[in-house]
Each structure stands twice: as structure tokens, then as C-alpha cells.
Amino acid sequence: MTKNSVKKFVNAICDFVPISCDVVDSFNVKNVFYSEDYIKKNGPQKEKTPLFTIELTVGEDRTPAYSTSA
């Protein structure tokens, strides 16, 4: 039972790892999760929901900070 649980957890995490990533700049990043063959076989896929979101900010004292409430 534990093996199956760990296997499901690993598969869920690996599902969020893109097969390729194109970083143009800090505002333009394109992750590809499905190959063209996979899409042809199974149809278009939905956008993935991030596991978590982090908002980077600069505090009043000009120190960097982050927020996970976004």
C-alpha cells in the first residue's frame, strides 16, 4: 500500500515537469508538457494549474521578499 501511495505521489509531481522550457525573459516563459505525437493521439490538453504560486516583492526597506498568498 505504501509503495502505491509513493508511486502516485511521484507520478503527480513528475506530471508537472515540462518536456521542454523556452525562457525568453522573466515575463515570457513557455513550458511544453505534451509532445506533438501525444496531442495528435489524445487531442489538445488543458493548461496545467501550478502546484504553488510565489509572488516576488520588494519591501519598504528595499529588501526582497516573497508572498504565497497570490
Residue 7 in grid coordinates: 508511486
pTM of the predicted protein model: 0.45
Residue 24 in grid coordinates: 525568453
Confidence at residue 23, expressed as pLDDT on a 0 to 100 scale: 93
Confidence at residue 65, expressed as pLDDT on a 0 to 100 scale: 85
- pLDDT per residue over 16-57, tens digit each? 788 889 999 988 988 888 888 888 888 877 777 777 778 888
How many whole angstroms separate alpha carbon 17 and alpha carbon 48? 11
Residue 69 in grid coordinates: 498568498
The single-letter code of the amino acid at 61 is D
How many whole angstroms separate alpha carbon 54 and alpha carbon 45? 24
SS3 7: helix
